[in-house]
Amino acid sequence: MLTVAPPTRLLLGPGPSPVHPRVYQAISQPVVGHLDPYFFQVNEEIRKGLQTCFGTTNEFTMVISGTGSAGMETAVTNFVEPGMKFAVFANGYFADRITEMGRRHGAQIVRLEKPWGESFTGAEAEDFISRHKPQLVAFIQAETSTGCYTPGKGICEAARKVGALTIADTVTSLGGMPVDVDAMGIDIAYSGTQKALGCPPGLAPITVGPRGVEYLRARKAPSVSWYLDLKLLLDYYEQAHRYHHTAPVSMFYALRESLAVIEEEGLPARLERHRKNHEAFVAGMESLGTAMYVAGEHRLWTLNTPRVPDGVNDLAVRKHLIAKYGIEIAGGLGPLAGKVFRIGTMGYGSSAENVSLLVDALRDAFAVAKA
């Protein structure tokens, strides 16, 4: 077998996104044991960096060994109990995924459905939640299937009035858009490392606020999942440092380094970079006569969904971009298949150079894919 030699790709799809060179360096450092004091020091630095990105003072902030879906399942398995009423704000693919996880955990699901790409008003959230009085509410802050942003303030306020906890999926917002856990009133938020944090896939940051911690303390039956049980994980990471699982140490180095990069850039400056490059991309698409799928005020800065121009074959565009430029973008999911592209401008990949390279490549690809 030859040494692994991946092709050169510019990852401008919905994730994974380009990895910062310092993160690649960090990941190649020697592994220490998962009970080594150095590992716990790295873990503590990660916790602090994540608090900044999440916009929270939550002590209970840690990472799950697994991808974004493990973060989602951690939220579900620790906060859903059989028979519980679980409300999902459903406007895309990942809302359907958390619905399915809730269903498998025996929740009684109620959903407020919106067409993919639309967000929810505070009045809609208030009306829905006050009618159903759920115990738990979930929404997708950054819906990667559509490019739609739902900050969540109205949802969290309405949930609090009926005593419900809130779960926010911040997989595609953390490190690239305001997440603002404390300001929004979010109780539980999870994410993934491979999007705007600029790391490879493999870890799922999670934060739990005081109301969530109180719920966990009072919970009688243990969560169905042993691996994702937050109480056991807390014992390992924060308290007794008792062995729970062999943490993927190299990925912890990677995340620690990406958070150092974020600290040096400064979160506000980083978010502003994402906003600017997103807007430059939108302007570029408009110059090609291509409209965006999501209304202006609800657009993610991290994940863009330009419509596939009339008469253009989206698969042919994607194939051309890979073959000629080594650029990866993605097509639409579910009802948006063939209708939109999904283009990431996130993390290390969010740069003016990448945007202009991509807009030029798309101009070329649209012409080729029309012929």
Does 69 participate in binding ligand PLP (rule CB under 6 A)? Answer: yes
Does 292 participate in binding ligand PLP (rule CB under 6 A)? Answer: no
Smallest distance, Å, CB 323 to ligand PLP? 24
Contacting ligand PLP within 223-242 (CB under 6 A) = none
Which residue has its beta carbon closest to ligand PLP?
68
Does 181 participate in binding ligand PLP (rule CB under 6 A)? Answer: no
Q: Give, to the nearest 10 degrees, the angle between helix 267-287 and helix 249-265.
A: 80
Contacting ligand PLP within 76-115 (CB under 6 A) = 94
> Of 170, 172, 168, 180, which Cα lies nearest the Cα of 196?
172
Number of alpha carbons in the 13 Å side-chain half-sphere of residue 304: 30
Nearer to ligand PLP, 190 or 348 (CB): 190
Alpha carbon distances (Å) from 165 to 156, 162, 209, 211: 8, 9, 10, 7
Nearer to ligand PLP, 51 or 194 (CB): 194
Nearer to ligand PLP, 171 or 369 (CB): 171
Smallest distance, Å, CB 63 to ligand PLP? 13
C-alpha span between 355 and 281 (Å, rounded): 6
Please name the residue ranges forming H helices in 55-114: 68-79, 93-104
C-alpha span between 167 and 311 (Å, rounded): 41
Candidates 26, 88, 140, 259: give the one binding ligand PLP (CB under 6 A). Answer: 140
- Looking at 62-70, 121-129, 154-162, 211-219, which segment touches ligand PLP (CB under 6 A)? 62-70
Q: What is the three-class DSSP state of 70?
A: helix
Q: What does the block give as tokens for 254?
A: 């990677």
Q: φ and ψ at 189, to 5 degrees?
A: -135, 140
C-alpha span between 173 and 187 (Å, rounded): 16
Smallest distance, Å, CB 233 to ligand PLP? 18
Contacting ligand PLP within 7-26 (CB under 6 A) = 14-15
- Letters for 185-214 (x = contact with ligand PLP by CB under 6 A, - = none) are -------x--------x-------------
First to last CA, the chain: 41
Under a CB-based contact definition with an 8 Å cutoff, are residues 71 and 284 in contact? no
Does 169 participate in binding ligand PLP (rule CB under 6 A)? Answer: yes
Nearer to ligand PLP, 43 or 170 (CB): 170
Nearer to ligand PLP, 172 or 290 (CB): 172
Candidates 110, 171, 249, 254: give the one binding ligand PLP (CB under 6 A). Answer: 171
Nearer to ligand PLP, 107 or 171 (CB): 171
DSSP strands (E only) in the chain: 10-11, 60-65, 85-90, 108-113, 136-140, 142-143, 148-149, 165-169, 188-190, 203-208, 303-304, 327-328, 330-331, 341-344
Nearer to ligand PLP, 73 or 257 (CB): 73
Does 68 participate in binding ligand PLP (rule CB under 6 A)? Answer: yes
Number of alpha carbons in the 13 Å side-chain half-sphere of residue 367: 6
Does 346 participate in binding ligand PLP (rule CB under 6 A)? Answer: no
C-alpha span between 160 and 29 (Å, rounded): 45
How many residues of this chain bind ligand PLP (CB under 6 A)? 15
Contact positions vs ligand PLP (CB under 6 A)? 14-15, 67-69, 72, 94, 140, 142, 144, 169, 171-172, 192, 201
